[in-house]
Structure 1
Amino acid sequence: MIWVFYVAVVLALIILATDLTLIISWRWNFKSHHFDRGTYPQVSILVAARNEEKNIESCLRGLLSVDYPKEKIEILVGNDDSTDNTLVIARALAEEDNRIKVFDIKTVLGQARGKANVLAHLANQARGEFYFISDADTRVQRGWIKNLLYAVHQNVGMISGVTAVAGKSLWARLQNMEWLNALGMLKVVTDFNVPVTGIGNNMMITREAYEKVGGYENIPFSIVEDFQLTRAMLAEGFKVINLIDVQVLATTKAVSELKGIFNQRKRWMHGALKIPVILKLILIAQALVLPAGLALFFYDFTLAISFLLLKISLRTTFTFFIYKKVKQKINFDAVLLYDLYVSLLSVMTLLYFVIPVKVDWKGRKY
């Protein structure tokens, strides 16, 4: 079985080379995309909300406080058949501030379903030149609108910000590290002109690009609606940009239950199957750290420990670059447990993905 050892060595080298490539690419090919427009165009913020009574008020108050001329903003909230007080709370806030407009969505447009259907309805009501999309459980920075707009230049159709997971527990910190590392890898690949996807809880799309593809109602439905819209825009020749900067940082809550994690990851897997090969290889390499380390351990303890320490050092370096951009501090307990967390979660997600059960998302089955 000596071949297992050689396979593990090759795999370990590939994993380390992947991390080193990410670090070098971040340092030498990071693109900021900052073009000050000097003007303030009309913008529309679209928020799809389903059973978000615990989050909708803080989300909307955060959007109302962004640093942008009040007369140039409208916030369109689409209630997606909520069974709680989401609609009541949203309407009460609309009474306080006329920038908020609330729509109770009851009909289906074209091929759109769920969140995509709500966004399709809101886009049809929007008056802005640019559509900003935020989830109802997300909080954005005051400079969110301006700094996404600063990245707009010729033929850009979609720009995504960066999202972090809020929370002090180890579980939340591990999710946060996972999100930021994933978005960091997405940034590296996109900066090499291999665009992958926008991030649907923190992104801006131009009205021109959205109308060119026909809107959500005219593209094939997918439970990863942001990925599907990205594919449609790329097919029409529009550019997609991913930003990582504290000014476009949004925060979301950690998923508290394992079942919720698995449903979230199963939904993401539907998009992951269609991502570029280079990003698939990077993600696979990250998921195989623990198997490679265990295989080396049974043949050469010193080599296994050296591999794991070097892996942690390289990944921590990459993580540090990302955290520095969004002005967060690295938690070293999460650093030490991160590779174990990712490896176990990847295996369990893959098993859950192949089980023939539907994705349960926001109380709906897909």
Structure 2
Amino acid sequence: MRARRAPRSLDARPRVSILIAARNEAATIERCLTSLLELNYPAEQLEILIGDDASTDDTAAVVSRFIADKPQFRLMLIRHRLGTAQGKSNVLAHLSRAATADYFLITDADMALPPNWVQTMLAAAPEGVGVVTGVTTADGGLFGRLQGLDWLFGLSIIRLLTDLGWPITAVGNNMLVTRAAYESIGGYEALAFSITEDLQLFDHIVSQDWGFRNLVDGQVLGVSVPQPTVQCLLHQRKRWMKGTSRLPWQLSGLFGLYGAFYMVLFWPGMLPPLYVVGLFAAKLLMQTLFLLITLRQVDRRESLHVLLFYEFYLTVMSVAVIGYTLLPVSIQWKERRYRWAEG
């Protein structure tokens, strides 16, 4: 990994390009654009590029109305492919070519970003660092808040491993990539198609010896619109599971230990009942404390009963996701279907 220099000052204001791939996001994208309009960053130093990926709803019309009197925004209609890119990676390939800044900040149309997002991400990208990942949560009712805890739990673990120097992954809804790092791998148009394009980009950038950072900080906390139903969540997680085969052994090992814990704990007759109760209580206590620490780091709060219920949610969803992943059904993403082999 390239040597890291001192972080960039929060007072620095270089020009940045914010890239948003959008397909059928008419219901959510105005929320995202409003948050970008409210950034504490000079508008003349922002270039916000929205790529409409052949939407079949009113996404383009919603965006056009919103940006009509805002010169820092620009809508691009993406209708042809660049190289090997498809879907979201194709849109980002087009937007990256059109971008004029040396820093690309990438987010999704269903995200809302905090006011100091740009300068805090930039501060984590001194010379030699090619990719920075922010932190994400979700809001809404109980189901959405549990998804938000899922985001925070997973990204906090990834941040801990990253701080140890282990390259794990980046998350494409809250990510900074330098132009130099992006161009060093030839861009998305030079990569084989992947439905986990963020992990793919991260892997290739790190392979070129660029540094990486993962942040857990309220200044870079993006809030996603939660998946509305269990079925939608399973579709999302099946796509994510496709990327687990590319994860480093450190994170795969943690997933394996997590599964083994429940197998050992609840296997009939393997452990005395008192041991089962004690181990389960210890795991629940440590998990809850970890989430409380993470919530404090990102300036969020959650009720204790939701934190405790998260254990039930996590157990049930883990089993459901594994079962759904094993089913011979296609991966659905942005109203397109992909076979497991081609993803």
TM bucket, shorter chain: over 0.9
The reply on whether 1:213 has 2:174 as its aligned counterpart is: no
In the alignment of these two chains, the number of paired residues is: 333
- One-letter code aligned to 2:107: S
1-structure distance, mates of 2:208, 2:248 = 18
Partner of 1:194: 166
5+ residue gaps, structure 2, are 1-5, 339-343
Partner of 2:16: 43
The 3-state SS of whatever aligns with 2:232 is helix
CA deviation map 1:73-96 (0-9, x unaligned): 011000011111100011112212
Quick one: which of 308, 312, 318 aligns to 1:346? 318
- TM-score, normalised on structure 2? 0.93
Q: Which moved more, 1:311-320 or 1:296-305?
A: 296-305
5+ residue gaps, structure 1, are 1-32
Q: Give the share of equivalent positions with the same residue, in percent.
A: 35
Larger relative helix fraction: 1
Deviation of residue 333 (structure 1)?
Answer: 2.1
Quick one: which of 231, 237, 240 aligns to 1:259? 231
2-structure distance, mates of 1:339, 1:298 = 22
Partner of 1:330: 302
Quick one: which of 222, 231, 237 aligns to 2:209? 237
1-structure distance, mates of 2:38, 2:268 = 53
The reply on whether 1:124 has 2:78 as its aligned counterpart is: no
The 3-state SS of whatever aligns with 2:224 is strand
2-structure distance, mates of 1:71, 1:78 = 20
Partner of 1:157: 130
2-structure distance, mates of 1:329, 1:92 = 35
CA deviation map 1:36-67 (0-9, x unaligned): 16431110000111111111111111111111
- One-letter code aligned to 2:135: V
Checking the alignment, whether the CA contact within 8 Å between 1:148 and 1:161 is kept in structure 2 is: yes
The 3-state SS of whatever aligns with 2:92 is helix
Partner of 2:220: 248
1-structure distance, mates of 2:260, 2:137 = 24
Q: Which moved more, 1:58-67 or 1:284-293?
A: 284-293
Quick one: which of 27, 33, 38 aligns to 1:65? 38
- One-letter code aligned to 1:353: T
CA deviation map 1:103-135 (0-9, x unaligned): 111000011110100011011100011001110
CA deviation map 1:179-217 (0-9, x unaligned): 101001100111111111111000110011111111110
Checking the alignment, whether the CA contact within 8 Å between 2:22 and 2:51 is kept in structure 1 is: yes
1-structure distance, mates of 2:228, 2:264 = 29
- One-letter code aligned to 1:341: Y
Partner of 1:291: 263
Deviation of residue 264 (structure 1)?
Answer: 0.7
The reply on whether 1:55 has 2:25 as its aligned counterpart is: no
- One-letter code aligned to 1:211: E
The reply on whether 1:362 has 2:331 as its aligned counterpart is: no
2-structure distance, mates of 1:35, 1:73 = 18
Q: Which moved more, 1:276-285 or 1:136-145?
A: 276-285
Quick one: which of 108, 127, 133 aligns to 2:106? 133
Q: Which moved more, 1:254-263 or 1:333-342?
A: 333-342
Checking the alignment, whether the CA contact within 8 Å between 1:286 and 1:343 is kept in structure 2 is: no
Q: 1:127 to 1:305 in 2, by over 3 A?
A: same
1-structure distance, mates of 2:269, 2:284 = 16
Checking the alignment, whether the CA contact within 8 Å between 2:18 and 2:107 is kept in structure 1 is: yes
Checking the alignment, whether the CA contact within 8 Å between 1:289 and 1:343 is kept in structure 2 is: no
CA deviation map 1:250-277 (0-9, x unaligned): 0001112122111111111111111111
- TM-score, normalised on structure 1? 0.87
2-structure distance, mates of 1:34, 1:284 = 35
Deviation of residue 349 (structure 1)?
Answer: 1.3
2-structure distance, mates of 1:282, 1:358 = 27
Quick one: which of 148, 153, 162 aligns to 1:181? 153
The 3-state SS of whatever aligns with 1:83 is coil
Partner of 1:82: 55
Q: Which moved more, 1:93-102 or 1:181-190?
A: 93-102
2-structure distance, mates of 1:174, 1:129 = 36
Quick one: which of 307, 313, 319 aligns to 2:285? 313
